[in-house]
Structure formats: structure tokens, C-alpha cells
Amino acid sequence: QVQLVESGGGLVQAGGSLRLSCAASGLTFSVYAMGWFRQAPGKAREFVATIAWNAVSTLYTDSVKGRFTISRDNAKNTVYLQMNSLKPEDTAVYYCARRSTPMTWTGGLKEGNYDYWGQGTQVTVSS
């Protein structure tokens, strides 16, 4: 059974931090890039960050650069998103996803290039 399970969301005050985790099972993890996306109420889902299969490369959307850090532990089949200096506009449901094609880096901003998705974890930042 393929599963991506996010955890670590919650309610935090502006300026605070959260660390999201995404544990993968039932699928190959270590040779695929992984991504984090988010969806705020009434808005389309948007790209947040992606990390290469070997963690050599990362990419962030401009609004989170310098505040969020994506990382992975292939031994644990887990990808993380460390979120610091949180803002109310970061409030959203956060999803992790696995790239459709192994050892592929380009195209990581596009949802259509991911095949497996988690159920999401809610992050709420109060002002």
C-alpha cells in the first residue's frame, strides 16, 4: 500500500516555527525528487519547495526563501520542511508529493510531474 503521511502541522503564532515530516511507505523513495505544496482556503494549490533524490539540489518558491528549509533522510524514507519566521499568509494545508520519474530534477514546480501525494497537514499561523 502506497502511503505518504504528513505530520507536524498545527497552530502557531506569527514568527514561530514548525517542522513538517512526510513519511513514505510502499513506494521507492531514494531515487525520486520530493516536493512540498500548499493550498490556502479559496486558492489553488501552489509549489513550496522541492529536493533532489540525493539532496544535492533544492528549490523554493520566492515567498519562503530564507525561511523554509527542505531536507530528506533516505534511510528513513522521510522528507522534512522546516518552517521558520512563519507568517499568517503561510496558513494552508501542506502536502508532500513524489516525482513521477526517478532521478529527474527539471519540472519540479509543476503538480503534474508528481504521482503520489499525501493527505495534507494543516498549518495555521495566527497574527
Give the closest residue to 123 by CA, choosing from 5, 2, 4, 13. Answer: 13
pLDDT grade for 1, boundaries at 50, 70 and 90:
confident
Q: What confidence score (pLDDT) does residue 55 get?
A: 96
Give tens-digit pLDDT for 40-51.
Answer: 999 999 999 999
Sheet of strand 3-7: strand arrangement: 3-7, 18-25, 78-83, 68-73
Query: Cα(76)–Cα(69) distance, rounded to whole angstroms?
Result: 18
Q: What are phi and psi of 109, to 5 degrees?
A: -80, -15
Instruction: Render 69-118 in DSSP notation, one character per residue.
Output: EEEEETTTTEEEEEE-S--GGG-EEEEEEEESSTT--TTTT-GGGEEEE-
